[in-house]
Structure 1
Amino acid sequence: MKGFFRYDGPFFSTMSRVFDLVVLNWLWLLLSLPIVTIGASTTALYTVTLRMARDEDSHNIRSFFQAFAGNFKRATLLWVLYALVGGWLLAGAYAMSHGAVPVLKGLAIVEAGLFLILLLGLLYLFPLQARFINSVRGTIAAAQTLALRHLPASLLMVAIVAAQVLLAAYAAPLRGWLVLFWVMLGASGTAFLCSKVLESVFRKELGQKERDPVPAVRN
């Protein structure tokens, strides 16, 4: 028991990790406020949480700001592209689903399916930008390919996010606690859990060079 509470023991190690995640969450929230910067802030967040998932030492705050600045242009472009395409697909699916022609309703299902595939790719997009060096086109292609190639991992990450959404929607007594959780650990905690899943995927891909989705590791 004494070892548990040592400075380098499990208790203080866990508390240190939680504190780092709280700080990262606040940084993410602050730098995401302009909306257009969500891509850069999410890439910076994953830069740190992926290192945490690999148990690598990192100066988290400094690494966050370095990654935010270093990935700002490309991550912002990726975010804007996905937002535009996603918005177009969603609007098209909504408009067609309300049309009177049966063919349009069928097309609405197709567009809704493409939108869901795009969302799956979004789970990988900014982690790939954070973890690997690639072109914008290459990152998008890798994100969509990995989302479908590793569907169980993709669905696990969907479940991590969906569980929070479902609790907020259907567990009214818990909403106050959920708001507190999101203010303290929402984005960073989710990114850290997803990073554990993503690192497993990346290790598999890097172990199969002929299927390696990216040419070079960033960190």
Structure 2
Amino acid sequence: MENKYLSYDGVFFNIFKMIYKLLLLNIIWLFFSIPLITIGASTTALFYLSGKIVRKENINSIFSSFWKSFKLNFKNSTIIWIILLTVSYFIFVNMININLMPGLIAKYIYIIQLIALFEIFITTMYIFPLLSRYHVTIINAFKASFFIANRHFLTTIKCLIFFPIFYLIFSLNSFFVLFIVVFYALWISYILKDRFVKYAQVSDEDER
């Protein structure tokens, strides 16, 4: 009798097959992110596939599916990525300059800038998963991501929990970078898998 654990459709084979898919997905994301300007599009494609994995949808080819999403979302994802990067940079530089200024007003302005930077960060966590799943304009992507991130702050905290874990794991061994990005995408996709649905139902956005 064939061992159900060692057969082609057995437990161990499926585990190794999944590990291979995740490793491949992480490597593809790293490769497509090398130009830096393409990080937005590659991250959207990453979430497109991690979302399918979480929802247990069929994926015929990791690379083909990644490339499909990368091309489809390249323009909007790249524009959004540039906007996020530019605004974050100016706020960060402004915070450094304000921190050198004396007085109570400077401290208040610094706190406001810090809150703004945090808002950009949590909006970023939602915007690429949203782009990966729905046809949405750039403006609506920003509005929806900002609203959901603040309206469902407990969900946002759950998403944020991964970052200290990410830092701890990566500090132990840099080898884990081969998996850590895709694990983060899976975590976010799992947390958000039902969060967008009710908003999509009352909007004109079409699911991919």
By the TM > 0.5 criterion, same fold?
yes
Tell me if 1:65 matches 2:67: yes
Shift of 1:166: 4.1
Tell me if 1:201 matches 2:195: yes
What residue number does 1:191 align with?
A: 185
* Counterpart among 101, 110, 113 of residue 112 in structure 2: 110
Q: Is the 8 A contact 1:132 1:216 kept in 2?
A: yes
**Counterparts of 1:100 and 1:3, CA distance in 2:** 70
Alignment of 1:1-219 (within 5 A): 2-58=3-59, 59-168=61-170, 174=172, 177=173, 179-182=174-177, 184-206=178-200, 209-210=201-202, 212=203, 215-218=205-208
Shift of 1:168: 4.7
Q: TM-score, normalised by structure 2?
A: 0.92
**Counterparts of 1:168 and 1:132, CA distance in 2:** 32
- Flag the 1:186–1:168 CA change in 2: closer, same or farther, 3 A: closer
Kindly provide the amino acid, as one letter, of the partner of residue 200 in structure 1. D
Shift of 1:145: 1.0
Q: Is the 8 A contact 1:24 1:45 kept in 2?
A: yes
Once the two structures are superposed, what CA deviation does each residue of 1:132-154 show, in whole Å capped at 9, x if it has no partner? 01110001111111111221221
Shift of 1:81: 0.3
**Counterparts of 2:12 and 2:123, CA distance in 1:** 36
| 3-state DSSP of counterpart to 1:34 | coil
**Counterparts of 1:168 and 1:95, CA distance in 2:** 31
CA RMSD of aligned residues (A): 1.8
**Counterparts of 1:89 and 1:10, CA distance in 2:** 49
- Flag the 1:160–1:43 CA change in 2: closer, same or farther, 3 A: same
Once the two structures are superposed, what CA deviation does each residue of 1:140-196 show, in whole Å capped at 9, x if it has no partner? 111111111221221111111221224556xxxx2xx2x1010x2121121112111
Once the two structures are superposed, what CA deviation does each residue of 1:70-108 show, in whole Å capped at 9, x if it has no partner? 111111000000001111122222211221121011111
Q: Is the 8 A contact 1:98 1:105 kept in 2?
A: no
- Flag the 1:130–1:24 CA change in 2: closer, same or farther, 3 A: same
| 3-state DSSP of counterpart to 1:138 | helix
Q: TM-score, normalised by structure 1?
A: 0.87
More helix by share: 1
**Counterparts of 2:7 and 2:207, CA distance in 1:** 36
Kindly provide the amino acid, as one letter, of the partner of residue 180 in structure 1. F
Q: Is the 8 A contact 2:166 2:180 kept in 1?
A: no
**Counterparts of 2:141 and 2:81, CA distance in 1:** 12
| 3-state DSSP of counterpart to 1:55 | coil
Query: How many residues are paired up?
Result: 206
Shift of 1:30: 0.8
Structure 2: runs of 5+ lacking an equivalent: none
